[in-house]
Amino acid sequence: MLNLGGLELREHTFQVPLDHAQPGLGTIEVFAREATLAGDDASARPWLVFLQGGPGFESPRPLGKDGWIGAAVEKYRVLLLDQRGTGRSTPQTPEAILREGDPKAQAAHLARFRADSIVRDCEFIRDALGVRRWTLLGQSFGGFCVVHYLSFAPDSLAGAMITGGLPGLDAHADDVYRRTYPLTRAKNERMWSAFPGLRARIQMVFQRVAEGDVLLPSGDILTAERLQAVGAQLGFSRGAAELHYLFERAFAPGSDDLTRAFLRGVEGYFAFDTNPFYAILHEACYGQGRATDWSAQRIRGEFPEFDGAGALSEDRTPLLTGEMVFPWFMDQFGALTPLRDAASELAGKDDWPSLYDSDVLSANQVPTAAVIYHDDMFVPADLSLETAGRIRGLEAWVTNEFEHDGLRSAGGRIFSELTARLHASAACLPGRAR
User: pLDDT (tens digit, 9 = 90+) per residue, 187-222?
Assistant: 999 999 999 999 999 999 999 999 999 999 999 999
> Is the separation of the CB atoms in 396 and 331 below 8 Å?
no
Is the per-residue pLDDT at 46 higher than 90?
A: yes
pLDDT beyond 90 at 313: no
The string of pLDDT tens digits covering residues 242-291 is: 999 999 999 999 899 999 999 999 999 998 999 999 999 999 999 999 99
pLDDT of 433 > 60? The answer is no
List phi, psi (to 5°) of 93.
-80, 165
Q: What's the whole-number average pLDDT of the chain?
A: 95
> Is pLDDT at 431 greater than 70 in this prediction?
no
* Average pLDDT over every residue of 36-49: 91
Residue 279's nearest CA partner among 345, 355, 343 is 343
What is the arithmetic mean of pLDDT over 91-97?
95
- For 356-400, how does the pLDDT look when each residue is reduced to its tens digit (9 = 90+)? 999 999 999 999 999 999 999 999 999 999 999 999 999 999 999
Whether 97 has a pLDDT exceeding 70, the answer reads yes
Per cent of the chain over pLDDT 70 is 98
pLDDT of residue 322: 95
Q: What is the mean pLDDT of residues 26-46?
A: 93
pLDDT at 156: 98
- Measured CA distances, 21 to 17, 117, 180 (Å): 8, 10, 35
Q: What predicted TM-score, i.e. pTM, was given to this entire model?
A: 0.96
C-alpha to C-alpha distances, 331 to 241, 340, 344, 349, 355, nearest whole angstrom:
30, 7, 12, 20, 30
Q: Please give the positions annotated as active site.
A: 140, 351, 404
pLDDT band for position 311 (cuts 50, 70, 90): low
- Per DSSP, 81 falls in state E
Percent over 90 (pLDDT), the chain: 92
User: Any residues with CB less than 8 A from the CB of 45 and at least 6 apart, and which?
Assistant: 36, 75, 76, 77
Q: What is the rounded distance in angstroms from the CA atom of residue 196 to the CA atom of residue 329? A: 31
Rounded Cα gap, residues 311 and 81, in angstroms: 43
Q: Judge whether residue 312 has pLDDT over 90.
A: no
The answer on pLDDT for 98 being more than 70 is yes
What domains are there in the chain, each with its CATH number?
Answer: 2-168+356-428 (3.40.50.1820), 173-348 (no CATH)
